[in-house]
Amino acid sequence: MQSAAPAMGRRERNKQKVQERLYDSALGLITERGYDGTSIEDIAERADVARGTFFNYFQRKEDLIVEWGQRRRARLAAGMLEEGAPGQGAVAQLEHCMTVLGVLSESERAVTIAMLTAWVKAGRPVLEEPYVAETFARIVALGVAGGEFQPGVSAEQVGHVLRDLYLGTLYRWCRQGEPGEPGALVAELHAVLRMVIEGIGAR
């Protein structure tokens, strides 16, 4: 039995609070003004810290985009463990994954649009490891092994296809002038997923 992780000391707790304040201030400002319209000075001022304090936690402003992406990945991983999804078949797991991704964006639409725009402008879709594609691929591989999908299907290729469809759907959703009906993004993600599943489903 593993022992519990030691509790953080006061100094560590304070550092974490400052980092969270900087991160929350940055997201709020970027959502209001856009990434280019937000400076490190603005972020430090809203977080009520000195400008130099920012660099104790982030080397550059772009690191905030990286942090946002990492937190999204962590939330996706946590969401995939909910409602017994790991014990379900591959199709159900893919549907659950699309649901989690859609809910993440719909629950914070303004932040998603602002940060996704910054993420794309910074070249992160090309530079970052395709975590979502890898998540899809792992599920597809289980489906191939379990006979849900056609033998010989490349899980890696399907993972990339699903990532491309997910991002394309997300980009179109972000371009809409109005939020639309609640759950509209999730519904569209499920629709594009269904088209792929019908193509690779076992005969």
Q: What is the CATH number of the domain that holds 30?
A: 1.10.10.60
Residues 49 and 104 in one domain: no
Residues 48 and 143 in one domain: no
Query: Residue 74: exposed, middle, or buried by beta-carbon count in 10 A (0-12, 13-18, 19+)?
Result: exposed
Residues 96 and 53 in one domain: no
| Cβ-defined contacts of 77-85 (< 8 Å, 24+) | 79/103, 79/104, 80/135
Q: Domain range spanning residue 35?
A: 1-59
Those residues with Cβ within 8 angstroms of residue 140's Cβ, 6 or more apart along the chain or in another chain = 90, 94, 149, 153, 155, 158, 159, 162, 200
In the structure encoding, which two tokens stand for residue 80, read together? Answer: 């995939």
In the structure encoding, which two tokens stand for residue 153, read together? Answer: 């299907």
**Stretch 58-65: mean pLDDT, rounded?**
96
Model confidence pLDDT, tens digit, residues 129-186: 899 999 999 999 999 999 999 999 999 999 999 999 999 999 999 998 777 788 999 9
Model confidence pLDDT, tens digit, residues 26-52: 999 999 999 999 999 999 999 999 999
Note the pTM of the prediction, 2 decimals.
0.88
3-class SS of residue 149: strand
Residues 72 and 19 in one domain: no
What's the chain's average pLDDT? Answer: 91
Model confidence pLDDT, tens digit, residues 91-134: 999 999 999 999 999 999 999 999 999 999 999 998 888 999 99
Those residues with Cβ within 8 angstroms of residue 73's Cβ, 6 or more apart along the chain or in another chain = 131
